[in-house]
Structure 1
Amino acid sequence: VGEAGGPCCCSTSGDGDYQLVQHEVLCSVKNTYEVLDFLGRGTFGQVVKCWKRGTNEIVAIKILKNHPSYARQGQIEVSILARLSTENADEFNFVRAYECFQHRNHTCLVFEMLEQNLYDFLKQNKFSPLQLKVIRPILQQVATALKKLKSLGLIHADLKPENIMLVDPVRQPYRVKVIDFGSISDETF
C-alpha cells in the first residue's frame, strides 16, 4: 500500500498486513465500504479511510494483521471495543467503534473518522509550544477518558500524541478523543 495519503497499490507482505487496492470493497454483514485512502500503519495493522456505500458517511477501518503472533492481541482489542461500545464515547472521549467483521481472514474494525492526531498537529505547527489555555482542555479530555478506562479496570498501555486525535479542528477546536486500544491492559487478560 502507498504512503499515508498516497495511492494504494498491490504488493505482497510477509508480516500479515492485508494488501489493499484503492477503491477495493470491504463487506460486513450489514454494510459495504469502499477504500478511499491509506491513513497509516501500526504494529497490529493498518488504517484506511473508507466511504460507507449508500450513505455520505466516511469511516476509518483498522485492518488487523493476519499473523499468529498478533492474533491474541487482535482478539483482546475486539473484546475491549465490545465493552467500550456500551459506554458513551463522546462523553468519555474515546473513539466510537461501529462494527467488527472479517475480510479475507483479516479482522476489520470500523471507527468514526477523526481528523488528525496530536503528533501530526504539533509537527504541522513546527512543534511550537501550545498555550496553557489549549493544553488544559486537551488534558482534561484525556484524563476523563483514562478515568473511565480505570473505572472499567482497563489501562491504556500506549498513550502518546499519535493516539490522541483531534475530532474536527475547524468546528471543534481542541476537542480530542483517545484511540488505539490494541495494547490495553486488563486484569482478565
Structure 2
Amino acid sequence: MGKNNDCDSWKAINKFKSDSKSGSFKQRKQRPILDISKLSKDVSLHLESASLDDNNLSAADKGPKETQQGGIKQNSDDGNMDYHIGLVLEDRYEILSTLGEGAFGKVVECIDRHGGQHVAVKIVKKFESFCKVARSEIAVLEEINNLDEDNRFACVRMLDWFKHKAHICIVMELLGPSTFEFLQQNNFVPFSMEQIRHIAFQIFRAVSFLHRNKLTHTDLKPENILFVSSDCDTEYNQQMNCKHKKPSCLDIKVVDFGTATFDHQHHETLVSTRHYRAPEVILDLGWNQSCDVWSLGCVLIEYYLGQTLFPSHDCREHLAMMENVLGPIPPHLLKQTRKKHFVKHERLNWVEASSSDDDIRKHCQPLMQYMRTNSEEEKQLFDLLTCMLEYDVSRRITLEEALWHPFFCSLRTQQPPQRS
C-alpha cells in the first residue's frame, strides 16, 4: 500500500515550520540530572496486550512467591508500596486517594502541603527492573521540562521526584481520565470528527516536538493520552440513539515516558503495546521514530470506531489483520525480515482456511470500508490514516508533514492555548 497522489502532492508543497525550542539538552540547577547514557540498556518493559499485566516479567522480577510456613499462608510480595490514605511522603505529599495501578506500580492523588496543589504521584514497584524504567522516565521528563519551559506542548509535566524507602516516586501534574477510560466509561461511543481533530492535533504537535529532539515515545496508545480535565457534559447522540458524555475541554497530555528512547540509545527489539505495534517491529526490521506514527494511526482509527483496529494477541495473526485492512505486505519487507517463519514464497505464511482467518475476515475489512459517511472531513481523515498506516517506513508520513495535512487546515492558524 502506498500513498495516493494527493497525499504526496500536499507533502511536497508544505513544509512544517517548527515553533519549538530544540537543540542540546540543558541541565536543571535545582535537581541532579540522571545521566541516561549510564543507564542499563534493558530499561524497557514491553506490554503484550492493551491491558497492563506482569506476564512478561521474569520470575526474579516478580518478587518472592507465596509460601506455606507452619500451616500459615503468607502473601507474596508484589513489589507495590504499602500505604494508607493520609500518609505523608517526604513530609510534603499527603496521599488522598488511589487513582490507578498497572504493571509499573500505582498512581495516587496527593496534596502538596507546600502550596496546597493537588498532584499525581507515580509510586513505582521496588523491583530493580521497574526502577530502571523509572530512572529513564525521570531523565526524559527532565529534558522535556528543559526544552519546553513555557509548557507549549502537550507532554505531562514532572514537578518533583524522590525515593521513599525502596520505591521511586515521580510527582506530576494531576490530569483527568485517559482517552481510553473516557471511551470505556462512555460505552465506547466514538469521538466526533471535531473531537478527533482537536485531540490529534495536540498529540501530533507533542510527539513531533519529541521527534525533533531525537526522542521516540514507543508506547503511544489511548491509555497514555490523558484529558487535562475530568469535566464533561451530557448530550444526545442521534446516530447512536443514546445519551453520552462529551468532554468539556479537549486539552490532552501525552504521558508514560518509561520506554521513550533517544536516537543515540540502544533500541530494544520489541517496543509498543501489541495493538499499536508497527509492522517493522513485528518483522524485526529495526525501527525509528516512524513507529510512533503507525501507533498514532491506530489510535486515531480507534477514536473514530470506538474499538481497536487490530485486536490480536498473536504476531502472525496481527500481520494477517494488517493485510486484510491495508493490503499485502510488500515482498521486499518480508524478504528482509529475520522472522523467516512468518514468510512463505515471499508472502505472509498464513493458513487462510483456519478458524482464526474466519474471525479476521469477519472483523477486519479494507480501511476505506470503515468510513461511515462520504463527507469531506472523513475523506481527509482516512487519507491521513492511509499515509500513517504505511508499511514501508521510507514512505510513511512524518508527524511534521501530518500537521500540514488538509484534515488540520482549520487548526493550523490557531494559537495553542496557554497553560499555567
Task: Indicate the TM-score class for this superposition, using the shorter chain for normalisation.
Answer: 0.7 to 0.9
Contact between 2:131 and 2:168, CA under 8 Å: does it hold in 1?
A: no
- 1:120 is aligned to 181
Letter in 1 for 2:88: V
Aligned to 1:83: 143
Q: Give the 3 Å change call, closer, same or farther, for CA 114–103 of structure 1 in structure 2.
A: same
Q: Aligned-pair distance for 1:55?
A: 2.9
Give the structure 1 partner of residue 96 of structure 2: 36
- What CA distance in whole angstroms lies between the structure 1 residues aligned with 2:231 and 2:151? 18
1:69 equivalent to 2:129? Answer yes
> CA, structure 1 residues 133+97, in 2 after alignment: closer, same or farther (shift >3 Å)?
same
CA-CA distance at 1:98 after TM superposition: 0.5
Of 226, 249, 253, 1:173 maps to: 249
Matched, 1:26 2:103: no
Indicate which of 196, 218, 222 corresponds to 1:157. Answer: 218
The answer as to 2:168 corresponding to 1:111 is no
CA contact (8 A) 1:145 1:178 kept: yes
Equivalent position SS for 2:159: strand
2:156 aligns to what? 95
1:6-25 equivalent positions in 2, closer than 5 A: 14-25=77-88
Q: Secondary structure at the match of 1:92?
A: coil
Q: 1:188 aligns with which of 265, 268, 280?
A: 265
Equivalence for 2:193: 132
Cα distance change, pair 159–13 in 1 and its aligned pair in 2 (3 A):
farther
Change in CA separation of 1:88 and 1:177 when aligned onto 2, cut-off 3 Å: farther
State whether structure 2 residue 119 is matched by structure 1 residue 59: yes
- Gap runs ≥5 in structure 1: 1-11
Separation in 1, partners of 2:76, 2:119: 25
The count of corresponding residues between Structure 1 and Structure 2 is 176
Structure 1, 12-21 or 33-42: larger mean CA deviation: 12-21
Change (3 A) 1:150 1:16: same
Corresponding letter in the other structure for 1:182 = G
Q: Which is greater in Rg?
A: 2
Aligned counterpart, 1:7: none
How far apart, in 2, do the equivalents of 1:104 and 1:13 lie? 19
- The answer (yes or no) to whether the contact 2:154–2:202 under 8 Å persists in 1 is yes
Higher relative strand content: 1
1:131: how far off?
1.0
Equivalent position of 2:109 in the other structure: 49
Residue 25 of structure 1 deviates from its aligned partner by: 0.7
Identity of aligned residues (%): 35
Output one character per residue of 1:33-76: Cα deviation in whole Å (capped at 9) or x when no partner. Answer: 10000111122221100011143310000011110222221221
Deviations 1:18-42 (A, max 9, x none): 1111111101xxx601000011112
Q: Which residue of 1 aligns with 2:358?
A: none
Letter aligned with residue 166 of structure 2 = N
1:122-142 Cα distance to aligned partner (Å, 9 max, x none): 112111121111100100000
- The runs of 5 or more residues in structure 2 that have no matched partner are 1-74, 233-247, 267-420
**TM-score, normalized by length of structure 1?**
0.86
